[in-house]
Amino acid sequence: MFTYKRRVKYYETDRMGVVHHSNYLRIIEEARMVWCDENIMTYKEMEKRGCIIPAASASENFLSYLRFDDPFRIEVKLIDFQGIKMTFSYKIFNENTEELCYTGESSHFFAKDCGNEQYLPYISFRKDFPEQYKKLRELAAESK
């Protein structure tokens, strides 16, 4: 499991003073990108090599609220990797109270970067990124 920490930014909150629900997807994306940087390679390097990682699905459960300047941590876990597709789970905790505020999952696939085309062909991650493929297999096995 990977842990990412930071504080709630003012712009992430709504008129009620809590993190707006739409920002949780951005927050988990930020944590996932740092996870990728530390476990696979930087997203920028992947794009240079012609690979993008679009989202296939996302689900969320809002359990409590985070407010402006609350410190929080996100626990990111790769829970499945099938060579083409990978699925992550997320838990967000308020660092002051240890309260679980959010749980979610997202699935992503590896695709060839074809510019603005609507069709995104899958990429052979095993063939084109063998070292990273091996690392993802190991990380997925650890989470079971």
Catalytic residues: 14
Q: Are 79 and 136 in contact (CB under 8 A)?
A: no
Distances (CA, A) of 82 to 52, 60, 75, 108: 16, 22, 21, 11
Q: Phi/psi zone of residue 50: left (φ > 0), alpha (ψ -120 to 50 degrees), beta?
A: left
Nearest to 72 by CA among 53, 44, 91: 91
